[in-house]
Amino acid sequence: MRLHRTCIFLFMNIVLAKVAREPYCPPCPSCEERLLERVIRNELAMENLQKETGIKLNNAIKTAMENISNAVSEMTQKATMTGLQLKKENEILKGMF
């Protein structure tokens, strides 16, 4: 009985191993050429995408830096004006007393 199970188990493994394999396909020149063309097209597309992304990123960084510098200069001007106003108010208050 045990020998019978072992034989069936080995037979099933052999059948399963034969069925589970991928079919063999010899490489054909046209398949290799198409694959190579596809790889080259993908590489060119990636290079173009990197260039476009780099340009967009540089433009976004320039715009952000301009906005930041404008905001800082505006804040500096407002702070200066506020300081001058405080000095004038202090002088007015000192003159009153």
Instruction: Give how many domains the chain has, as a whole number.
Output: 1
Specify if 73 maps to a domain: yes
Distance (Å, whole) CA 64 – CA 76: 18
Low-confidence winner among 2-6, 14-18, 29-33, 73-77 (lowest mean pLDDT): 14-18
pLDDT-derived band at 51 (thresholds 50, 70, 90) equals very high
> Residue 30: pLDDT above 90?
no
pLDDT-derived band at 37 (thresholds 50, 70, 90) equals very high
What is the pLDDT, as a whole number, of residue 64?
A: 95
Specify if 12 maps to a domain: no
The single-letter code of the amino acid at 44 is L
Task: Tell me the CA distances in angstroms from 19 to 10, 12, 16, 72, one per residue in order.
Answer: 14, 10, 5, 72
Specify if 6 maps to a domain: no
Specify if 52 maps to a domain: yes
Domain carrying residue 67: 30-97
Specify if 87 maps to a domain: yes
